[in-house]
């Protein structure tokens, strides 16, 4: 059934027609995103938009089109995911109409086991034209820790159930056997059912919209448009690289630890610019580690894609971005981990990869680069059992990520309380979290003094304090930047460190590993508190205008020490 599309001479497309077709294709992905956001049960998808949809090449699996609201980190990773589904199908006779493949394998498909990928082949008169794919962060997929960010994991099976590529839909019919296995391996089967149906609905909508587009425009014109968009991205990327001065630029940064061994881990980059060619060489990076801050090669490539899109925002979002770049990542590194190395905390490591790319780019052209952002999603899980009469014994799992400051840049100060630069997701609103879970936010505010000083100040981090309203619960934290602050560039100052504390038995305490801890026992009225970093500063601090400093003071943005952290036990 994998007959390739009929060979015809590609039609000539003028610029206006190409722009219209590009908009139509992106709109299909945007509608798929919106369909899932509106139908998912889990707030991480419905409110935070931790998901992505796109269109992928029938022969290579490469990214052709992505929606504007999907997570950028999935663009690079999802190409690997589509290829994994293609390989699985090839072992069973090839792709067939009406099938949808599902899996969460982070080693072939990228990211981590919470990100469940669905891949649907699109056929027309027996010809495989392309793939539609959906990736979304499911609330809980088994493992030792509710929400799956297990800071003590030393192998992948301690993080989550491992699902290889399997057909969740066979010939248009839901595979009840696979569904039963999925529902048996989650603490929240209703949430899983709702999220899965949302993804299936999004793929169904995408297939209908694509059919309408092919009916109106024809296969040849759509194929020509997709190829033209990729060629355009490659040309633009080469042209943008050529604007950087030739040279070799190096940057390094560290992770606090891996959650198991309390030693820093290094991400090292040698960036070489030669004309319109760019090489990103991560050979100096630490070896694969015991704990869950390893990432797979697919994830590492996706991180490079995201950083490059930040540096060169005019380049279209498709595989052509990476066509112009050589990425060097030897085997055996923290960023090329293989099964069974744990990879659940992938977000922290790709954020550090983006940081070092920004820092290396700043050496080449500080006007283009942005100082480092806050550098951690602070994955926090609080879980327990309901005690009220109506829901007694019912499990609840609050899982969320939290914001911080973005780096200053040549055009101005960094964004305060933004989301991580790996995504376009939003921070779940406290009203949603309080309505869904037995907690109360006693503080949700900007963190004064947390942005790095400079000609253009880093954006501010935030303070979140959460009180437990149930009788008992367990809390888990997986963060970073507790020991190595986000850096400034071009003479800018570093931001504040990340601070996590928990108030139990009448006193405030901090994790021994600063940013990661398993199994914090909470009683009613106990609290957890996050003080997130700001972004690094851009440019020398003495170049900041008096008017800007006066405005900072008037708005309460600055404290007495821009890298102040609160000592344990100092809070009331």
H/E segment holding residue 219: helix 219-241
pLDDT level of residue 2 (50, 70, 90 thresholds) = low
| 64 in a structural domain | yes
The span from the CA of 88 to the CA of 100, in Å, is 12
**Lowest pLDDT segment from 358-372, 459-473, 551-565:** 551-565
| 425 in a structural domain | yes
pLDDT value at residue 316: 81
Looking at the fold, whether 230 and 376 belong to one and the same domain comes out as: no
Domain that holds residue 21: 15-235
Residue 268 CA, chain-centre distance (Å), reads 21
Indicate whether 351 pLDDT > 60.
Answer: yes
pLDDT value at residue 20: 94
The span from the CA of 234 to the CA of 318, in Å, is 9
pLDDT level of residue 98 (50, 70, 90 thresholds) = very high
Looking at the fold, whether 34 and 181 belong to one and the same domain comes out as: yes
Which of 211, 235, 259 marks a domain boundary?
235
**Lowest pLDDT segment from 252-256, 307-311, 336-340, 438-442:** 307-311
| 75 in a structural domain | yes
How would you label 271-283 residue by residue, b for 16+ Cβ within 10 Å and e otherwise?
Answer: bbbeeeebebbbe
pLDDT value at residue 567: 41
Which of 207, 235, 263 marks a domain boundary?
235
| 309 in a structural domain | no
Averaged pLDDT for residues 64-78? 80
H/E segment holding residue 277: strand 277-281
Indicate whether 520 pLDDT > 60.
Answer: yes
| 337 in a structural domain | no
Indicate whether 206 pLDDT > 50.
Answer: yes
Give the mean pLDDT of the chain: 92
pLDDT value at residue 522: 98
Averaged pLDDT for residues 31-45? 95
Averaged pLDDT for residues 341-362? 95
Residues sharing a CB contact under 8 Å with residue 13, sequence separation 6 or more, in sequence order: 21, 221, 224, 225, 228
DSSP category for residue 335? T
Residue 500 CA, chain-centre distance (Å), reads 21
Q: Looking at per-residue confidence, does 445 or 71 come out higher?
A: 445
The span from the CA of 472 to the CA of 323, in Å, is 52
pLDDT level of residue 9 (50, 70, 90 thresholds) = low
| 259 in a structural domain | no
Residue 419, CA distances (Å) to 18, 121, 315, 401, 552 in order: 33, 33, 22, 9, 22
Averaged pLDDT for residues 24-31? 96
Indicate whether 399 pLDDT > 90.
Answer: yes
| 278 in a structural domain | no
Contact present, 373 and 535 (Cβ < 8 Å): yes
**Lowest pLDDT segment from 68-77, 134-143, 263-272, 438-447:** 68-77
pLDDT value at residue 549: 96
Closest CA to 150 of 383, 428, 445, 483: 383
Indicate whether 505 pLDDT > 80.
Answer: yes
Token couple for 133: 């794919």
| 336 in a structural domain | no
The span from the CA of 541 to the CA of 497, in Å, is 19
Which of 201, 216, 235 marks a domain boundary?
235
* Residue 458 Ramachandran class (φ > 0 left, ψ -120 to 50 alpha, else beta): beta
- Over residues 404-436, the pLDDT tens digits come to 999 999 999 999 999 988 866 788 899 999 999
pLDDT level of residue 21 (50, 70, 90 thresholds) = very high
Residues sharing a CB contact under 8 Å with residue 488, sequence separation 6 or more, in sequence order: 371, 372, 407, 408, 452, 453, 454, 458, 494, 495, 536, 537, 538
Percent helix, strand, coil in the chain, to 5, is 30, 25, 45
Closest CA to 274 of 324, 308, 230, 317: 324
Contact present, 76 and 302 (Cβ < 8 Å): yes
The span from the CA of 213 to the CA of 132, in Å, is 14
- In the numeric block, the tokens 């707030």 are attached to 43
pLDDT value at residue 321: 87
Number of structural domains, the chain? 2
Q: At 261, is the secondary structure helix, strand, or coil?
A: coil
Indicate whether 494 pLDDT > 90.
Answer: yes
């Amino acid at each position: 059934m994998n007959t390739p599309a009929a060979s015809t001479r590609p039609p000539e497309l003028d610029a206006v027609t190409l722009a219209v077709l590009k908009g139509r294709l992106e709109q299909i992905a945007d509608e798929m995103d919106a369909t899932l956001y509106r139908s998912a049960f889990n707030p991480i998808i419905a409110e935070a938009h931790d998901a992505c949809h796109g269109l992928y090449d029938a022969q290579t699996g490469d990214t052709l089109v992505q929606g504007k609201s999907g997570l950028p980190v999935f663009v690079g990773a999802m190409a690997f995911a589509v290829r994994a589904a293609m390989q699985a199908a090839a072992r069973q006779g090839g792709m067939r109409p009406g099938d949808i493949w599902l899996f969460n394998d982070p080693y072939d498909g990228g990211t981590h086991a919470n990100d469940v990928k669905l891949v649907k082949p699109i056929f027309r008169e027996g010809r495989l034209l392309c793939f539609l794919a959906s990736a979304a962060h499911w609330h809980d997929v088994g493992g030792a820790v509710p929400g799956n960010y297990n800071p003590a994991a030393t192998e992948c099976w301690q993080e989550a159930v491992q699902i290889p590529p399997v057909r969740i839909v066979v010939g248009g019919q839901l595979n009840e056997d696979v569904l039963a296995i999925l529902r048996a391996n989650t603490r929240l089967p209703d949430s899983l059912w709702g999220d899965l149906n949302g993804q299936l609905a999004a793929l169904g909508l995408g297939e209908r919209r694509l059919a309408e587009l092919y009916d109106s425009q024809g296969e040849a014109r759509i194929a020509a448009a997709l190829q033209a968009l990729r060629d355009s991205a490659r040309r633009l990327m080469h042209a943008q690289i050529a604007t950087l001065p030739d040279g070799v630029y190096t940057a390094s940064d560290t992770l606090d630890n891996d959650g198991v061994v309390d030693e820093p881990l290094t991400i090292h980059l040698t960036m070489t610019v030669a004309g319109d060619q760019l090489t990103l060489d991560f050979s100096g990076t630490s070896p694969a580690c015991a704990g869950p801050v390893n990432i797979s090669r697919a994830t590492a490539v996706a991180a490079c894609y995201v950083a490059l899109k930040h540096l060169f925002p005019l380049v279209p979002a498709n595989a052509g971005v990476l066509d112009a770049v050589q990425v060097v990542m030897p085997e055996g590194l923290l960023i090329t981990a293989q099964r069974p190395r744990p990879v659940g905390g992938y977000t922290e490591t790709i954020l550090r990869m983006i940081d070092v790319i920004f820092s290396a780019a700043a050496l080449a052209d500080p006007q283009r680069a942005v100082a480092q952002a806050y550098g951690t999603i602070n994955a926090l899980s609080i879980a327990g059992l309901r005690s009220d009469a109506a829901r007694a014994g019912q499990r609840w799992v609050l899982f969320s990520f939290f914001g911080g400051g973005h780096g200053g840049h040549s055009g101005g100060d960094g964004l305060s309380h933004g989301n991580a630069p790996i995504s376009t997701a939003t921070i779940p609103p406290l009203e949603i979290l309080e309505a869904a879970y037995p907690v109360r936010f006693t503080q949700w505010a900007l963190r004064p003094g947390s942005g790095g000083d400079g000609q253009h100040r880093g954006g501010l981090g935030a303070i979140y304090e959460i009180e437990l309203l149930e009788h008992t619960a367990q809390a888990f934290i997986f963060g970073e930047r507790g020991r190595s602050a986000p850096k400034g560039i071009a003479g800018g100052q570093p931001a504040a460190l990340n601070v996590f504390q928990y108030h139990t038995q009448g006193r405030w305490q901090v994790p021994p590993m600063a940013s990661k801890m398993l199994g914090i026992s909470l009683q009613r009225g106990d609290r957890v508190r996050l003080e997130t970093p700001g972004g690094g500063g851009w440019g020398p601090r003495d170049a900041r205008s008096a008017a800007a400093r006066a405005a900072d003071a008037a708005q309460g943005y600055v404290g007495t020490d821009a890298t102040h952290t609160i000592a344990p036990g100092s809070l009331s």
